[in-house]
Structure 1
């Protein structure tokens, strides 16, 4: 917990990824200024995430139906989470890693 607070204090970023949002200590979540919420299938996880989103201004209602590349995004400067589409290079996981040539081609899109 101290690491998350110190990182924020000094402007450093940290990424916490989980399939169980209630499993992350509340004090850590409160030090995270940017949140991404993706598709979930468990009703209990959807309810927990909807509660977190409501605390940030608006619940989604469609977390169980989001397609690949769709996320809700929220920062401390926003009044409510918004839906965004990310490039598949951020959410698609092919069988083999991309080659250097593939990475360069993706960056030119």
Structure 2
């Protein structure tokens, strides 16, 4: 869920806040993995990262958001000292029960053809499965 702070804000409750918080707290027991993405961790309800087994931290440049991400990392038992200076493809990853560690990834994690598939190609691939 991109712009997760709009679905589960830290301040006032929105129409979907309660259901989003319930989903975040219940999803794992049903084998459902969720991705909540935000560039504004300060604006995200604390129950979202609190229920996250794995957290990724990318480049941030707002001092308020940097401080919020550092507090989240601290709660996971570690530090993300240079989160404001990360380069392309660099992230911090905090797995369940682990402190954040810096990782470097390829810029493209999947294959992207030069042009999208045609409708016929999509249907042919779907029929083949």
Native 8 Å contact 1:39 1:67 kept in 2: yes
Instruction: Please state if 1:89 is matched with 2:103.
Output: no
Question: Pick from 7, 31, 38: which aligns with 1:11?
Answer: 31
Once the two structures are TM-superposed, the CA of residue 22 in structure 1 deviates from its matched residue by 2.0
Once the two structures are TM-superposed, the CA of residue 100 in structure 1 deviates from its matched residue by 6.8
How many residues in Structure 1 have an aligned counterpart in Structure 2? 94
Native 8 Å contact 2:49 2:72 kept in 1: no
Paired with 2:90 and 2:47, the residues of 1 have a C-alpha distance of 27
Q: Which runs of 5+ in 1 are unaligned?
A: 91-97, 102-109
Instruction: Please report the RMSD computed on the Cα atoms of aligned residues, expressed in angstroms.
Output: 1.9
Once the two structures are TM-superposed, the CA of residue 11 in structure 1 deviates from its matched residue by 2.1
Q: Which runs of 5+ in 2 are unaligned?
A: 1-20, 116-129
TM-score (ref. length: structure 2) = 0.67
SS in 1 for 2:108: helix
TM-score (ref. length: structure 1) = 0.78
Instruction: Please state if 1:68 is matched with 2:88.
Output: yes
SS in 2 for 1:18: coil
